[in-house]
Structure 1
Amino acid sequence: MNHCRDNEPTAEELMELHVEAMFTHDPNGRIRAIHEPWPGEDPAPRFFLGRTIDGTALCRFRHDVPDSLALLLKELVEDEPIMRDFQAKPKHFGSYMKLLQSGHHATGPCYCIPVQTTSTIQVVRITREHMSDHSLAGFECLASEIEYVQPCVALVHDRRIVSVCRSVRVTAKAYEAGLETLGEFRGRGYAAAVVAGWAMAVREMGALPLYSTPWENLSSQRVAGKLGLSLYGVNFTIK
């Protein structure tokens, strides 16, 4: 993967932006809820660990995790080695799961989208004013969420929206991409095109475009490969 340009944030700074975009925080820096731009909220995971390619590690705890438990977890995080195998579980994976008495975790790569990323296929911005120009079949949710997910970029085939990249986490400094392509239109490069178009729109707004995905989402990782996205770290969460 390419590295971000010199004037881009460091991997540690990008991980900070990622966690700020992913979750709401209380005044004590504890995470509270998933930071979705539309109304309503779902609880955040109890533990977040972000490890970066430059060897740093960042952790966050949900507001209801006892201080004594948070301290134990933080001590383990400080003992995490520099990542060599990005897909490997954290060194203290078993201890994290045992301390939190959980059987559910999620992990995946985190990418920044370089400045030079551009779309090679024509894409369009989707706003409330222009939605009626296109069929939303398969993307009916856009009708209720379009104001919240700007910028929203789509590829249109015969007036039908077939691939969309929209903003699913939004802060003043960074946006996280939400990507979806209808099944019958996959494998044509459409996903990469809308991600690139979305990233350009986000940068025009003065923010950084970020892209993260679970390891098991191989199609999403293929999009990252096609675009040459810059891996800056790996996130790990426990419910």
Structure 2
Amino acid sequence: MYDHLELMSIQAEVLYNHDHAGRITTINEPANQSAPRFFWGHTDAGSIVRFRSDTPVRLVHDILQFMGQSDSTGQLANVIRALEKDREIIGIWMGPAFACQEIVKDYTDARLVTEDNKYCLEPGFPTLLSELKFREPCFMVTENNMAVSVCFSARSSDKAAEAGVETLKDYRGKGYAMRVTSSWAQAIRRSGRIPLYSTSWDNYSSQSIAKRLRLHLYGTDISIY
């Protein structure tokens, strides 16, 4: 069993690719999009901090000094000011980070996407279909042979995988997201890895899924671009 700080460290490795110096380079997805300038994973046991590889050494030094000088709210304000002074901030993402430590078996009846049924993704999730090899395992709920809700591995490592959950607009509110997420988490657990699930503070429906599936809150993610 991992403690909260270990889980956050594992999540950082799942979310981002790192260079030999431990700096983040790109998002751990097929498109290799640029990583945020600063990642802060805050837990009750401490924090995991990552800087993008092009962050000036001076700025890294200044921010690390800020991290130990005040409470988390004051630290974040100082970090934002320092990053803004160096370069304009173009986005901030914040939200809770969860791990699945138990499987709610009542919701594990979603279908595994295979070579034989992957055509069901084409109408509603064509991009997922094109990236399926990277996103496995993927589970779906279907209506009339069309996938209407899916959960897949948004990002993966040899220790953990991060859930990606999508439901078509006309099929929301039916509990489908819980079914695909729980089925996916069970498969990740069977593979010997940790199922991770994170969302933003303003995504209340996603947080509701985490609550109903009894996911374990271990920290808060903050990414600044």
TM over 0.5: yes
In the aligned structure 2, how far is the partner of 1:79 from the partner of 1:189? 44
Helix, strand or coil at the partner of 1:194: helix
Contact 2:18 2:24 in 1 (8 A): yes
Structure 1: state its 5+ residue gaps: 1-7, 84-89
Identify the match of residue 109 of structure 1 among 76, 91, 96.
96
Would you say how many aligned residue pairs link Structure 1 and Structure 2?
221
**Counterparts in 2 of 1:94 and 1:166: CA distance versus 1, 3 Å:** same
4+ residue runs over 3 A deviation = none
| Matched position secondary structure for 1:148 | helix
Identity of aligned residues (%): 35
| Conserved? CA contact 1:128–1:146, under 8 Å | no
What TM-score, normalized to structure 1? Answer: 0.87
Going by fraction, where is helix more abundant, 1 or 2?
A: 2
User: CA 1:142–1:70 in 2, change beyond 3 Å: closer, same or farther?
Assistant: same
Report the Cα offset of residue 116 of structure 1. 3.1
Q: What is the match of residue 79 of structure 2?
A: 96
Query: Quick check: 224-233 or 111-120, which moved more?
Result: 111-120
What does 1:57-206 align with in structure 2 at a 5 Å threshold? 57-81=47-71, 90-101=73-84, 102-103=88-89, 104-120=91-107, 122-132=109-119, 134=120, 136-206=122-192
- Structure 2, unaligned stretches of length 5 or more? none
- Give the Cα separation in 1 of the matches to 2:183 and 2:150: 10
| 1:71-118 deviation digits (Å, cap 9, x = unpaired) | 11112123353x7xxxxxx32222211211143211100000123333
Deviation digits for residues 25-74 of structure 1 (CA, Å, limit 9, x no counterpart): 001000000011x2x3111011111111x231111101111111101111
Give the structure-2-normalised TM-score. 0.93
Q: For residue 217 of structure 1, what is the aligned residue in structure 2?
A: 203
**Residue 135 of structure 1, CA deviation:** 5.5
**CA RMSD between the two structures:** 1.5
